[in-house]
Amino acid sequence: MRLLVKAPAKINLSLDVLHKRPDGYHEVKMVMTTIDLADWIELMPLPSDTIKIVSHNRFVPDDHRNLAYQAANLLKETFGIREGVAISITKTIPVAAGLAGGSSDAAATLRGLNKLWKLGLTLDELAALGAKIGSDVSFCVYGGTALATGRGEKIESIPSPPPCWVILAKPTIGVSTAEVYRNLNVNAIRHPDVDGMVQAIHNQDYERICSLVGNVLEEVTMKMYPEVAHIKEQMKRFGADAVLMSGSGPTVFGLVQHDSRLHRIYNGLRGFCDQVFAVRLLGERNLLD
């Protein structure tokens, strides 16, 4: 049996850092939502007891460093599985972009192998395993929209925001998440209103959602890469309703409700940025199953 699994990207509508923890991670409080920009993971059983990664993207490792490899390996070790699998990854999500591409590939691999190897694990169990691979993996196991706390692995699902377009523009740089967190001064943070964002989503109040978007990592990445600020300014100037950097960046996203404005923003960005996407929010969490 071959299995094809969708691995959607995420954006952070609100991202706050509360403090640095003794274990080196940062305690976060953030609202994340999946978007219809996705990698595809194909899982094929192998006769030998090995994990093989196939990817035609030169930025994606094809060995144990690949997060999808780590997901398969974790299941094999935890449940003593002797079967092999070939994992073919078709990338659409830009790499090292703040969109959780690798994390989503790992989450899709966990969901898919749960079926292929008939493990019968719940999403909560898969999410707990995912947290061992990376902080964003638990959210990606569920998808949809959530309030994430802890180091990002404690997930409370919330309704999805009202429908809108998401325009994404990625400058031609990749960002190291570890470096961005390292450069964050936790004593000089202007905290976004994450609770307000959750409330606005519950109320389906699009204008309020737009007014509350905020990400404390944005300033850090912008200092390192001024092109992020430039893209943000341009996206605002072209008429997006709200504009923010996702995760640790460098991708900037804009929310737009009117189709007419979408084309203007998209074409304007394409004038100076190679990687521009216009997609929809993905909707509720259980659409992934």
Ligand X SMILES: C[C@](O)(CO)[C@H](O)COP(=O)(O)OP(=O)(O)OC[C@H]1O[C@@H](n2ccc(N)nc2=O)[C@H](O)[C@@H]1O
Ligand Y SMILES: Nc1ncnc2c1ncn2[C@@H]1O[C@H](COP(=O)(O)OP(=O)(O)OP(=O)(O)O)[C@@H](O)[C@H]1O
- Interface contacts to ligand X, rule CB under 6 A: 12, 15, 25-26, 28, 30, 100, 103, 134-136, 151-152, 177-178, 181, 247-248
Residue 49 appears among annotated catalytic residues: no
Q: How many helices (H) and strands (E) does the chain have?
A: 10, 11
**161 cis-preceded (ω within 30 degrees of 0):** no
**Active-site option among 16, 39, 136, 241:** 136
Residue 248 in contact with ligand Y, rule: CB under 6 A: yes
Cβ-based nearer residue to ligand X, 221 or 234: 221
Nearer to ligand X, 87 or 96 (CB): 96
> Binders of ligand Y: how many residues, by CB under 6 A?
22
Residues 6+ apart with CB under 8 A from 111: 5, 126, 141, 288, 289
Q: How far is CA 193 from each of CA 99, 136, 199, 208, 218, rounded to the nearest angstrom? A: 21, 21, 10, 11, 15
Distance CA 71, CA 30 (A): 24
Shortest gap between Cβ of 61 and ligand Y (angstroms)? 5
Residue whose tokens read 């009117």:
258
Nearer to ligand X, 160 or 177 (CB): 177
Q: Is 136 a catalytic residue?
A: yes
Minimal CA–CA distance to 3: which of 134, 122, 164, 118?
Answer: 118
> Does 103 contact ligand Y by CB under 6 A?
yes
Q: Which of 285, 252, 256 is nearest to 160 (CA)?
A: 285
Q: What angle do CA 68, 72, 76 make, to 5 degrees?
A: 165
State the number of CA atoms in the 13 A half-sphere of 37 facing the CB. 26
Min CB(215)–ligand Y separation in Å: 12
Q: Return the residue of 28, 68, 148, 198 that touches ligand Y, per CB under 6 A.
A: 68
Nearest to 96 by CA among 224, 228, 279, 248: 248
Segment contacting ligand Y (CB under 6 A): 24-32, 72-80, 98-106, 122-130? 98-106
Residue 105, contacted partner among ligand X, ligand Y, none, CB below 5-8 A by kind: ligand Y
Smallest distance from ligand Y to CB 222, Å: 16
Strand partners, 242: 255
Nearer to ligand Y, 148 or 242 (CB): 148
Report which residue type is found at 20.
K
102 marked as binding residue: yes
**Under rule CB under 6 A, residue 99 binds ligand Y:** yes
Question: Is residue 102 a contact residue for ligand Y (CB under 6 A)?
Answer: yes
**Is 95 assigned to a binding site?**
yes
Residue in 66, 114, 160, 221 binding ligand Y, rule: CB under 6 A: 66
Residues 150-169 that bind ligand Y (CB under 6 A): none
- Residue 20 has phi, psi (to 5 degrees) of -90, 140
CA 85 vs. chain centroid, Å, equals 25
Work out what residue 66 binds among ligand Y, ligand X, none; the CB cut-off runs from 5 to 8 Å by kind: ligand Y
- Residue closer to ligand X, measured from CB, 148 or 262: 148
For the annotated binding site for ATP, the residues are 94-104
Catalytic positions:
10, 136
Binding site for ligand Y (CB under 6 A): 60-61, 65-68, 89, 95-103, 105, 136, 174, 177, 247-248
